[in-house]
Structure 1
Amino acid sequence: MSAVLAPRATMLAMSPCDIDDILAIEARVHPFPWTRGNFVDSMAAGYGVWGSRIDGQLVGYCVLMLAVDEAHLLNIGVAERRQGMGFGASLLDHAMLAARRAGASSLLLEVRPSNEKALALYRNFGFQQIGVRRAYYAAEPGREDALVLQLALAEVPE
């Protein structure tokens, strides 16, 4: 499945100078957001970090880790006022294609069971649940499980 961004949207590789923009979205869309250090470390490790911009303004980002023949979507976020407009789908589509081109046969991710919007997006792309990580996420109060989802990338079109 492919999604198309609004006409003037641009998908770009992110760099450390983009982290403030990423953090502004991250803090608003995730109940327990990544820190600056998490993003700096991801970039330093060579993970794929992409963002989508409209007229220079960041509307969303994703972080992808490649390991041999497998990829792992570590983080994805879309600015609140841009949600429901296809940006999350476009970022996910970009990550899937990047993973496939890098030789990955599957893409894994974790998602909170309470994140119904994200679950709907992933299921729409064909992700299947393959496991549960008990008490994986911080939550109020306590901890929340993570659903482990996987997508075979062989069917992802170029």
Structure 2
Amino acid sequence: MTAPARLASLHAQAFAAPWSEAEFADLLDQPGVFAVEEADGFILIRVVLDEAEILTLAVRPSARRAGLGGRLVGQGAIAAAQAGAVRLFLEVAEDNVAARALYERAGFGQIGRRKAYYAAPDGGRTDALVLALDLAAS
């Protein structure tokens, strides 16, 4: 079973505005939510009917650029498809170049944009790009 405290600890290492242990516990209690984990990272996905969404992907900074993020996305996509999803969605900050490259390599394509979706550290707002992957084709 996935430990919310472990996910919160990894998330805090990966993000400036991390999610709490209670938030992870609440998410994991919801139907269709699961995590795929490795020692230095995890991906959290929600499946509803035939659609899935990546809620978050966290990789410990010291483990980045070694293929872990791509492996987690791949394993998460397989698990989502096994749970009945035919399409996998996510939102990524427009200025997050590394994450955008990761998702592009995994086969995701942009299907939309959410204006001023994310709060930026400088107090401004950053657009979110909505990406999707057809799981039947992957």
Instruction: Give yes or no for the alignment of 1:49 onto 2:30.
Output: no
In structure 1, the partner of 2:18 is: 33
Is the 1:32–1:138 contact (alpha carbons within 8 Å) kept by the matching residues of 2? no
Listed one character per residue, the Cα deviations across residues 88-108 of structure 1 (whole Å, up to 9, x for unaligned) are: 111101110011111111000
Give TM-score, length-normalised by structure 2. 0.92
Pairs aligned (count):
136
Instruction: Give yes or no for the alignment of 1:150 onto 2:132.
Output: yes
Unaligned stretches of 5+ in structure 2?
Answer: none
Runs of 4+ in structure 1 off by over 4 angstroms are none
**How far apart, CA to CA, are the structure 2 residues paired with 1:20 and 1:106?**
29
Listed one character per residue, the Cα deviations across residues 11-50 of structure 1 (whole Å, up to 9, x for unaligned) are: xx52xxx233222221122122222222111111130112
**How far apart, CA to CA, are the structure 2 residues paired with 1:112 and 1:28?**
18
Unaligned stretches of 5+ in structure 1?
Answer: 1-12, 54-58
Of 41, 65, 86, the residue aligned with 1:84 is 65
Listed one character per residue, the Cα deviations across residues 101-124 of structure 1 (whole Å, up to 9, x for unaligned) are: 111110000001111111101000
SS in 1 for 2:81: helix
Give TM-score, length-normalised by structure 1. 0.81
RMSD after superposition: 1.3
Percent identity between the two aligned chains: 36
Summarize the alignment of residues 3-152 of structure 1 with structure 2, pairs less than 5 Å apart.
14=2, 18-46=3-31, 47-53=33-39, 59-140=40-121, 141-152=123-134
**How far apart, CA to CA, are the structure 2 residues paired with 1:72 and 1:50?**
13
